[in-house]
Amino acid sequence: MRIQLSLCSLFGSLVAAGTGPFLSEVGDGSWVIGNDIWNVTQGSVYATKLFWEGVPGADLVGSAVGHYIGYDGEANLKFTNASIVAKGTHHIDVAFHSSLGDLHWVIFDDLSGAYQYFVNSALPDLSILRTLWRLSPDYFTHGRTHLKDEALPDFSLYKDSVKVQDETWQLADGSYITKYDWSNAVRDRDFYGVYGSEAGSWWIHPSTEYYNSDHYSQTLTVHRESSTGDAVQLNVVQDTSHFRVGQKTTQPAGKVWGPWLWYLNNGSIADVQQKRQEELKHFPYNWFSNTAYKSRGGVQGTLRLSDGRIASNAAVYLGDTDTTIRPSIQGSNYYYTTYTNDKGRFSFDDVRTGSYGLYASSNGGKLADVYTNFTQSGVKITKDKTLNLGQLSWEVSDVSKRIWQVGAFDKTARGFKNGGAPYQHGVTEESPANLTFVVGESKDADWYYASSAIGTWTIEFQLSAEEIAANNTALLSVSFAGYSQSGALDISVNGDVYGSLSKDTLTSDPALYRSGKTSGEWRFFQYEVKPEALKTGLNTVEFTTTRYTLWRGFLWDSVIFEWQ
């Protein structure tokens, strides 16, 4: 299937009908790949000159940068050669080789687009790995994710706006445009891309196993490139940096990210929805001959709390077998997420064989008071078998000792004022400096998702003399969904400071100032409160912000006060 093309045909939009999938070396250090439907020219770094039959004669990259792959900033891979490494009756697998690994394009004769995957050989420890398209803004005017479907900001808006941070601009009316507003949680996606009235370019991921970390992993998707106007379609498959405490992870030789589908169509959302459903049915792909990819099994079990309750709708995660590593920064292996059903049951199918750790945490709902996590090491997945773990016991605190709680414990700011989707820049500034929450009267929606301005948020509650006398030490549990420096917070009970949190004690995550209103890096603190510190009648827990930084501060999850 290796076909040499004349220069005339290379630059003549599309090859002649009946050619089928091909790889051709141009002779100037670049190659052309494609089929009868589309083709693109791959240079040592960038792929440009994208032609597609749906828009005859048009270069869909145009003056934009094109397609490339890189890690941690602009450390882009350079290809030294290309070859067809596998082929079938109707497809070829083209590998572009670099010193760090190989980017593959799997091209079928009748597919408008291509499957892609990357095989590591010598990547350094990294935080971010991504492929992306930067396409012509003339043809790709809109962006679409499962959270957001609208026109990309007009390029002219950037000219008269003020840049306030990376790829974030303030318009004359005080509003903002930023690439971070297009972010989302990677395991909540269906498909995403950029499109216009004539063409659409989409990423479809039938599996999320090659994404790092747990349910709360999130990253960028699409945006307008402010310096050039390019329509940007990101495919970030590894990210422990943009919304978490950045930490580089080791990448084993032979690790595979993908395969995913890059899909071209006429911009129809309904069409790409249908295409995604087809891809889900075909996963794992039969055409991918990688032995480790094909070696799969499953695991199932049931979670029950130690107080007898069923662990319904818990967030369950298959991650690193070393459970001392925070899920948020796990990124060397393959990862799977699910939720228990209303009977506490969970199952994972089509899991790559190997050893994993099993994790579970509250996702709110009936488990809103559960702040402990379940972990179990040494979960071994065997080929073509389903491991049954049976009933697993999850240790929790005694709910009968609960005095009060603000916010459902789920490691997110959902349920609070302004918390949750959509992503939006600068919303921290809508939170008040001072706030009073009265237990028994106020609701969770009266508490704001983030505190930033200097002032005090107070929780007022009543205790009787009998209640104090009948119990010993109280326990104050404070859960944050994220923290962006350089805010500082004192935590007090009836005026006595029990804890002081700041950049000196917390490592910053960027979620708040990058439009995140749901979660960043989870933090959890507990403080013992002796009976003599409590009073008959009115008591208070105070959170006093002592240091303010624009758009930064504390992203809330839950506050619980209980008897030990």
| 3-state helix, strand and coil shares in percent for the chain, rounded to the nearest 5 | 10, 45, 45
CA–CA gap between residue 8 and residue 15 (Å, rounded): 10
Averaged pLDDT score across all residues of the chain: 95
- Let me know if 37 is exposed, middle or buried by CB neighbors in 10 A (0-12, 13-18, 19+): buried
Listed by start position, the domains of the chain span: 7-283, 294-394, 399-563
With a pLDDT cut of 70, the percent of the chain lying above it is: 97
- Average pLDDT estimate for 419-439: 98
With a pLDDT cut of 90, the percent of the chain lying above it is: 94
- Average pLDDT estimate for 178-193: 98
CA–CA gap between residue 269 and residue 394 (Å, rounded): 43
Query: pLDDT tens-digit profile of 505-515?
Result: 999 999 999 99
pLDDT confidence of 9, banded at 50, 70, 90? very low
Tally of CB atoms within 10 A around 17: 9
Is residue 279 scored above 60 in pLDDT? Answer: yes
The torsion of the CA quartet 534, 536, 538, 539, rounded to 10 degrees, works out to 10
Give the model's pLDDT for residue 1. 39
CA–CA gap between residue 557 and residue 447 (Å, rounded): 10
Give the model's pLDDT for residue 508. 96
Give the model's pLDDT for residue 355. 98
CATH of 294-394, one of 3.90.1150.10, 3.30.70.1350, 2.60.40.10, 3.40.50.10540: 2.60.40.10
Is residue 125 scored above 70 in pLDDT? Answer: yes
pLDDT confidence of 19, banded at 50, 70, 90? confident
User: Which element (helix H / strand E) includes 236?
Assistant: strand 231-239
Give the model's pLDDT for residue 399. 80
Tokens matching residue 466: 């009998």
Give the model's pLDDT for residue 461. 98
- Average pLDDT estimate for 234-240: 97
CATH of 7-283, one of 1.10.1780.10, 3.30.1490.20, 2.30.30.100, 2.70.98.10: 2.70.98.10
Is residue 18 scored above 70 in pLDDT? Answer: no
Write the CB contacts of 504 (distance below 8 Å, at least 6 apart in sequence).
none
Tokens matching residue 55: 């828009």
pTM assigned to the model: 0.95
Is residue 7 scored above 50 in pLDDT? Answer: no
CA–CA gap between residue 255 and residue 187 (Å, rounded): 20
Give the model's pLDDT for residue 3. 39
Query: pLDDT tens-digit profile of 48-95?
Result: 999 999 999 999 999 999 999 999 988 999 999 999 999 999 999 999
Query: pLDDT tens-digit profile of 126-174?
Result: 999 999 999 999 999 999 999 999 999 999 999 989 999 999 999 999 9
Is residue 8 scored above 50 in pLDDT? Answer: no
What pairs with residue 87 in β-bridges?
92
Give the model's pLDDT for residue 10. 46
pLDDT confidence of 184, banded at 50, 70, 90? very high
- Average pLDDT estimate for 167-187: 97
Q: In what order do the strands lie in the sheet with 162-165?
A: 162-165, 168-170, 176-178
Token pair 């589908």 is at which residue? 261
Query: pLDDT tens-digit profile of 308-349?
Result: 999 999 999 999 999 999 999 999 999 999 999 999 999 999
Give the model's pLDDT for residue 14. 63
Give the model's pLDDT for residue 13. 62
CATH of 399-563, one of 2.60.120.260, 3.40.50.2000, 2.40.110.10, 1.20.1600.10: 2.60.120.260
Is residue 6 scored above 70 in pLDDT? Answer: no
Tokens matching residue 116: 């892609």
Give the model's pLDDT for residue 472. 85
